[in-house]
Structure 1
Amino acid sequence: MIFRNCAGGIVFYGNKVLIIKNEKNEWILPKGVIKDGKISTEVALDRVKRECGVSANILSTAGQTSYEFYSISRQRPVCNEIIWYIMESDTDRCNINREEGFKEGGFYKIKDALDMITYSQDKAIVNLSFQKYKELKKDKI
């Protein structure tokens, strides 16, 4: 099995969260593999910018998730371990990177996003992160 360390962002704008639809029609959060000597915060911010065109600031860590899948191209199972960061954007505008295979996305109200997100782990981390985000912002949203 191939083990990969990844980092991603849970980006909020008020009571909305940023999610994207990938080439498999899965609603996910922006994330990427940590490589080339980069640190997790750099990768998380870079993936949010590259995949969604959103500049965000990290407010806090959110937690970690992991999942396994079979890579057809590598002919081996892969385990991705993702460290997540709670982020904030000062705008709800985004520019989804279709060249990287993303079909659509944007900032959606939390309730709507939780209904749309494909994987239960992602739903849980978004829900917990929104509670923490509200505490960090002292309910000014």
Structure 2
Amino acid sequence: MIEATSCGGVVIFRGKILLLYKNYKNKYEGWVLPKGTVEEGEEYKETAIREVREETGAVASIIKYIGKSQYTFNTPQNTVLKDVHWYLMMSDSYYSKPQREEYFMDSGYYKFHEAYHMLKFSNEKQILERAYNEYVDLKKSNLWGNKKYF
């Protein structure tokens, strides 16, 4: 078994969540949250910001750490145990451009209930729920988008 670590973000702008649609060789892969592998010497926060920008083109800042999800998948050579560290992030606009090299064919911002039902993986649905609840709490407290909060 190989262990791997990724970081990603639940990116929100004006109450909507940024999702990516993956389609590899015309095979439906599903809607996902942006995430990617930690590079050597990189902090988790840096990975999350970089991966969001690379995969979606969105410029986003971290609001707070949301938690970790874990899953396994098989490659022809091995089983991979992957930890993903997630951050609640705020974007500066609705702009997004899917990274074609990673087989992302579409991206966009969706209302919570739409995003929840579009997401392919249950662990990402749980992270989305947690992040969105944090967002709602911050919004109620007038802390969302308040630079003092950072």
Q: Same fold (TM over 0.5)?
A: yes
Taking only the aligned residue pairs, the percentage that are identical comes to 33
Q: Give the ranges of 4+ consecutive aligned residues of structure 1 lying more than 4 Å apart after TM superposition.
A: none
The 1:139/1:98 distance shift into structure 2, 3 A limit, reads farther
Structure-1 separation of matches of 2:110 and 2:82: 26
Give CA deviations for 1:109-129 in whole Å, capped at 9, x if unaligned.
111111100011111110111
Which SS does the other structure have where 1:36 is aligned?
coil
Give the RMSD, CA atoms, in angstroms: 1.4
Secondary structure, counterpart of 1:78 in structure 2: strand
AA matched with 1:33: T
Matching of residues 5-24 of structure 1 within 5 Å: 5-22=5-22, 23=24, 24=28
Structure 1 residues not aligned, in runs of 5+: none
**Contact 2:97–2:106, Cα closer than 8 Å, also in 1:** no
1:40 match: 44
| Residue 115 (structure 2) aligns with | 113
- TM-score norm. by structure 1 comes to 0.92
* Cα offsets for 1:43-87 (capped at 9, x unmatched): 000000000000001000111101100013xx1010110110000
Alignment partners' CA distance in 1, 2:141 and 2:122 = 26
CA drift of 1:35 comes to 2.2
Task: State how far apart, in whole Å, the 1-side matches of 2:50 and 2:94 are.
Answer: 17
Q: In the alignment, which residue of structure 2 is the partner of 1:127?
A: 129
Distance of 1:13 and 1:39 partners within structure 2: 24
TM-score, normalisation: structure 2: 0.87
Q: After the TM superposition, which residues 59-138 of structure 1 pair with which residues of structure 2 at under 5 Å, given as runs? A: 59-72=63-76, 75-138=77-140
How many residue pairs align between the two structures? 139
Farther off after superposition, 97-106 or 108-117: 97-106
Deviations 1:1-47 (A, max 9, x none): 11011111110012210111123522111111112110100100000
Q: Which runs of 5+ in 2 are unaligned?
A: 145-150
In the alignment, the residues of structure 2 paired with residue 42 and residue 122 of structure 1 have an alpha-carbon distance, to the nearest angstrom, of: 20
